[in-house]
Chain A
Amino acid sequence: MKLNKTLRVATAISLFAAGGAFAETITIATVNNGDMIRMQGYTSEFTKQTGIDVNWVTLEENVLRQRVTTDITTKGGQFDIMTIGMYETPIWGKNGWLVPLDKLPASYDVNDILPAMRNGLSADGTLYAAPFYGESSMVMYRTDLMKKAGLTMPEKPDWDFIRKAAAAMTDRANEVNGICLRGKPGWGEGGAFITAMSNSFGARWFDMKWNAQFDTKPWRETLTFYKGMMDESGPPGYATNGFNENLSLFQQGKCGMWIDATVAASFVTNPKDSTVADKVGFAIAPNKKGIDKHSNWLWAWALAVPAGTQKQDAAMKFIEWATSKAYIELVASKEGWANVPPGARTSLYENPNYKDIPFAKMTLESINLANPLKPTVDPVPYVGIQFVAIPEFAGIATDVSQQFSAAYAGQQSIDEALAKAQALTNDAMEAAGYR
Chain B
Amino acid sequence: MSILSVKNVNKQFGGLKALNEVNLEIEAGTVHAIIGPNGAGKSTLLNCFVGRLDPDTGSVDFDGVSLLGMKPHEINQVGVSRVFQTPEIFGDLTLVENVMIPSFASRDGAFRLNGWGQVADENDVRENAMELLEDVGLVEQCDTVSNQLSRGDKRRLELAMCLVQKPKLLLLDEPTAGMARADTNNTIDLLKKIAKRGLTMVIIEHDMHVVFSLAEKISVLAQGTVIAEGLPNEIKGHPKVQEAYLGGAHL
Query: Do chains A and B stick together as partners?
Result: no
